[in-house]
Amino acid sequence: MLGERRPPTDPTDPTHLTYPTHCDLYNARMARYTLVYGVRLIPEGTLKGVDEATLKLADGSSAGLTLHTFDGTIPQLRRSLDRSLDAFFDLLPGAADEDVDTFGD
Beta-carbon neighbour count of residue 95 at 10 Å? 18
More confident residue, 92 or 56: 56
Per-residue three-class SS string for the chain: CCCCECCCCCCCCHHHECCCCHHHHHCCCCCCCCCCCCCCCCCCCCCCCCCCEEEECCCCCEEEECCCCCCCCHHHHHHHHHHHHHHHHHHCCCCCHHHHHHHCC
Assess whether pLDDT exceeds 90 at residue 6: no
Q: Is the overall model pTM greater than 0.75, yes or no?
A: no
Q: Is pLDDT above 70 for 74?
A: yes
How does residue 2 score in pLDDT terms, banded at 50, 70 and 90? very low
